[in-house]
Amino acid sequence: MSRTALRICPLCEATCGLTLTIDGTRVTGARGDREDVFSRGFICPKGAAFPALDGDPDRLRVPLVRENGELREATWEEAFDAVAAGIRPVVERHGPHSVGVVLGNPNVHTVAGALYPPLLLGALGTRSVFTASTLDQMPKHVAGGLLYGDAGAIPVPDLDRTAHLLLIGANPLESNGSLCTAPDFPGRLRALRARGGTLTVVDPRRTRTAELADRHLAIRPGADALLLAAMAHVLLEEDLTDLAHLAPHVQGVDELRDAIRDFTPEAVAEACDIDAVTIRALARELAAAPTAAVYGRIGSCTVPHGTLASWLVDVLNILTGNLDRPGGVLFPQAATDRTPRPVGPGRGFALGRWHSRVSNHPEAKGELPISALAEEIDTVTAEGEPIRALVVVAANPVLSAPDGDRLDEALDSLDFMVGVDPYLNETSRHAHVVLPPPPPSQSPHHDFAFNALAVRNQVRYTRPAVPLEPGRMAETEILARLVLAATGGHGTDPAAVDALVIEQTLRKAVGEPHSPVHGRDPRELAAHLTGENGPERRLDMMLRLGPYGDGFGVRPDGLNLDRLLAHPHGIDLGPLRPRLPQRLKTVSGRVELLPRPIADDLPRLREALRERPDGLVLVGRRHLRSNNSWMHNVPALTGGSNRCTLHIHPEDAVRLGVRDGAPVRVKGAGGEVTVPAEVTDRIRPGVVSLPHGWGHDRPGTRLTHASTTPGVNVNQLLDGSRLDPLSGNAVLNGFPVEVTAGG
Ligand SMILES: Nc1nc2c(c(=O)[nH]1)N[C@H]1C(S)=C(S)[C@@H](COP(=O)(O)OP(=O)(O)OC[C@H]3O[C@@H](n4cnc5c(=O)[nH]c(N)nc54)[C@H](O)[C@@H]3O)O[C@H]1N2
Ligand SMILES: Nc1nc2c(c(=O)[nH]1)N[C@H]1C(S)=C(S)[C@@H](COP(=O)(O)OP(=O)(O)OC[C@H]3O[C@@H](n4cnc5c(=O)[nH]c(N)nc54)[C@H](O)[C@@H]3O)O[C@H]1N2
Ligand code: SF4
Ligand SMILES: [Mo]
């Protein structure tokens, strides 16, 4: 007897609705849900492989606890006893910063990851916080923080209405989009072309996305900030700016003009390897387009000038009046966003409120660079205590961050480590306790993070498609118990965590004059909440207090959990709408076009005008059937063109004597790897490419399939010293390597 159940796909940022086929308690099929209000039936090969990923026999079923050096299966009670016994003494003896927390990418794809890590960080009070953000989008947060006063203010391109899209360092045909949640991104790009719009792609590789474009510019890696600065220069010099509706809300245009005066197209052309005529044309086309959106992603963030490039992306959108207007770039409004506050100055955004102990890196958004994790563990300084205990939730930094070999050793030296992870992999194998979450079919889903980055406002929630298997614990409960065990509340009912959050949130809301519940009794409000458990009641509360919410009865047509459950395919909340000036939280209450930290970083960009790499530089690449480091264990998703090979241009191959398919040695500052070459003109000369997330050959893991075709860890080529100084983001693209033929 089979049945079907709906489940939002958690495997990438596109958040497609899936219809799962379920036989007993096993998921046997997945197809796109045609009635999903957002994805309308779209699905990619990863979504289709949901049953295999969900049912992977290597997924851990029960906790593991280290005893006499070996991990053994344990009960949940034993596991949490071990967590409390491992963390509390470290905090008590060495203080809160001696406990580090590492949060990985899947936290933005789970309900648990949205609701509990903030509580863990708050209760621990540690400054040793590291996340995948500093391998990814921290430059966007810093740019948004400085421009708009809110690190969460990231405008997204209005894909379905724009007339002109300039894509910088993004390959949505493989990635399905990022910081721009759009199921069927490829179809939306084709629709843009079909309605007469234009698409330009800037990427050192001729990607599948580039093949779809009107124009592809194979820029020299790392040079995007120069290109974008020159475009802004042209707009200002040729009087092509038109702030339009933004004019009253923007300050600093004249200061910007002065600051970027010397970044002329002629001055940047050689460094970018794009001629000045083309750069001028790009700027003029952007200005002339009826609506336009500039969008930059991984290739513009994970580079030495990532924050400047991210800032300039927004500067171009602002100077052309495309910020906050339909067809341009807009700020989404998610159903679980906080109650919108009144227009007016905010508290602004501060960087570097504290610094890392060893290399003195400034914090950004409360985080330290994950590139500095190993040294914060293995280096003793006079400044303070090293990290002695580590909590790792859904992260695999041994593969995803620079210099995994050093991190391997550092993790081994810890007094205590707990990992929340479904796999025994390159990172979790170092843990003293591994707490495995259930597979996605047994977990609820709501996109707290991605609805705030989506090209259409909409809201969807799916309950677990399959009941929790006996012996399993929901990830929400695992994290609630982890919060308690790590902060001295071990043994307390985990439901108390949610009850406390609800009480505190409602108490605050009733005191806010702009809240729909101002002046009411928090206990009376809490009694209205529905939901089967703590996390559902928290979702209900957030929906009710949110911008579309029922305000606990104030707006009878508004959203709440019951209403959402009555719409299993989701509720469409309409196209993106302008939100300025309400969205601004700067101290001035305006968009601050040339913030001080940015101005102070421009001299470094000026130096880059003169830099020319004389050897090869390496960039990454993604494959549609892969996702970071944890999807190589499913046979259906590996093989074919999804292989860990070094892409190299034919000219470079000839010069270096490299033959297609033959092994090559790649050497970087952090180490070297040997990998098969793939000679292809899809990459520009002077640049080679390796995908990340491979290197599954370490002992002590349980990744049966992945370890048969392990690939190599590209991040071993890095030593962790290359960062974008403003954001602490790792430089993962455009770093120098030496390539030699032979293994
Ligand atoms: N060279 C290079 N390196 C890169 C990148 C690059 O482009 N080039 N990209 C970077 C980017 S953008 C990112 S986001 C990072 C990602 O870096 P990480 O977040 O460290 O890596 P992931 O591979 O996403 O691993 C996540 C871990 O979560 C586990 N996991 C999967 N599902 C769940 C779940 O439901 N619950 C829990 N608790 N755990 C789960 C997996 O088993 C895995 O161990 O990698 C970065 N590294
Ligand atoms: N299939 C698949 N999908 C994924 C993931 C995955 O691993 N696999 N990871 C998910 C995650 S965590 C994220 S953050 C997103 C990322 O989503 P995207 O940003 O779309 O990721 P990439 O495919 O890495 O695209 C980055 C592009 O930048 C180019 N590039 C490299 N250096 C430079 C440069 O200096 N300048 C310019 N202009 N371009 C450059 C690369 O050649 C590459 O094509 O994808 C998500 N979706
Ligand atoms: S595009 Fe992303 S969300 Fe959609 S099915 Fe594929 S992996 Fe899942
Ligand atoms: Mo990412």
Instruction: Check pocket membership of 43 for ligand 3, CB cut-off 6 A.
Output: yes
Checking if the pLDDT of 588 tops 80, the result is yes
DSSP strand pairing (329-330 vs 156-157): antiparallel
Claim to verify: residue 168 and residue 307 sit in the same structural domain = yes
Which residue reads 């979450």 in tokens?
A: 437
In a domain, 132, yes or no: no
Q: Give the C-alpha separation, 577 to 734, whole Å.
A: 37
CATH number, residue 25:
3.30.200.210
The predicted-structure confidence for 460-481, as pLDDT tens digits, reads as follows: 999 999 999 999 999 999 999 9
Helices 306-319 + 138-148 axis angle, to 10: 50
The predicted-structure confidence for 237-262, as pLDDT tens digits, reads as follows: 999 999 999 999 999 999 999 999 99
Claim to verify: residue 174 and residue 290 sit in the same structural domain = yes
From 630, 633, 673, mutation site for ligand 1 pocket: most ligand atoms within 8 A of C-beta: 630
- For residue 439, give the DSSP letter: P
- For residue 50, give the DSSP letter: H
Residue 491 CB neighbours (<10 A):
11
Claim to verify: residue 68 and residue 50 sit in the same structural domain = no
Least-confidence region, from 94-103, 378-387, 650-659, 667-676: 378-387
The predicted-structure confidence for 282-337, as pLDDT tens digits, reads as follows: 999 999 999 999 999 999 999 999 999 999 999 999 999 999 999 999 999 999 99
Claim to verify: residue 468 and residue 513 sit in the same structural domain = no
Average confidence (pLDDT) over 201-211: 98
In a domain, 358, yes or no: yes
Ligand 4 center to 449 CA (angstroms): 13
In a domain, 49, yes or no: yes
User: What is the H or E stretch that residue 617 is in?
Assistant: strand 616-619
Instruction: Check pocket membership of 733 for ligand 2, CB cut-off 6 A.
Output: yes
In a domain, 133, yes or no: no
From 154, 171, 308, mutation site for ligand 2 pocket: most ligand atoms within 8 A of C-beta: 171
**Amino acid at site 259:** A
In a domain, 452, yes or no: no
Helices 495-510 + 534-545 axis angle, to 10: 20
Claim to verify: residue 307 and residue 161 sit in the same structural domain = yes
Helices 596-608 + 138-148 axis angle, to 10: 130
Under 8 Å between Cβ of 634 and 640 = no
CATH number, residue 431:
3.40.50.740
Residue 22's domain comprises: 2-54
Instruction: Check pocket membership of 135 for ligand 1, CB cut-off 6 A.
Output: yes
Given the CA of residue 174, which atom of ligand 2 is nearest to it?
1
- Three-state DSSP at 419 gives strand
**Amino acid at site 538:** R
Global pTM value: 0.98
- Three-state DSSP at 65 gives strand
Q: How far is CA 480 from CA 206, 390, 475, in A?
A: 46, 17, 8
Claim to verify: residue 229 and residue 326 sit in the same structural domain = yes
The predicted-structure confidence for 257-297, as pLDDT tens digits, reads as follows: 999 999 999 999 999 999 999 999 999 999 999 999 999 99
Claim to verify: residue 330 and residue 387 sit in the same structural domain = no
- For residue 246, give the DSSP letter: G
Q: Give the C-alpha separation, 345 to 101, whole Å.
A: 33
The predicted-structure confidence for 688-726, as pLDDT tens digits, reads as follows: 999 999 999 999 999 999 999 999 999 999 999 999 999
Residue 353 CB neighbours (<10 A):
10
Q: How far is CA 281 from CA 238, 286, 328, 331, 564, in A?
A: 12, 8, 19, 28, 48
Number of domains in the chain: 5
Under 8 Å between Cβ of 610 and 163 = no
Q: Give the C-alpha separation, 89 to 77, whole Å.
A: 19
CATH number, residue 672:
2.40.40.20
Helices 224-237 + 596-608 axis angle, to 10: 110
- For residue 708, give the DSSP letter: G
Average confidence (pLDDT) over 513-538: 97
Claim to verify: residue 179 and residue 303 sit in the same structural domain = yes
Claim to verify: residue 669 and residue 620 sit in the same structural domain = yes
Q: Which two tokens stand for residue 191?
A: 């629709």
Measured in residues, the chain has a length of 743
Residue 648 CB neighbours (<10 A):
25
In a domain, 455, yes or no: no
Ligand 3 center to 496 CA (angstroms): 35
Q: 340 falls in which pLDDT band (50, 70, 90)?
A: confident
In a domain, 697, yes or no: yes
Average confidence (pLDDT) over 376-390: 94
Under 8 Å between Cβ of 286 and 294 = yes
Ligand 3 center to 438 CA (angstroms): 20
In a domain, 576, yes or no: no
CATH number, residue 302:
3.40.228.10
Beta strand extents in 107-228 (DSSP E only): 129-131, 156-157, 164-168, 198-202, 215-217
Claim to verify: residue 627 and residue 643 sit in the same structural domain = yes
Claim to verify: residue 481 and residue 596 sit in the same structural domain = no
% the chain with pLDDT above 70? 100
Claim to verify: residue 669 and residue 548 sit in the same structural domain = no
From 203, 215, 644, mutation site for ligand 2 pocket: most ligand atoms within 8 A of C-beta: 203
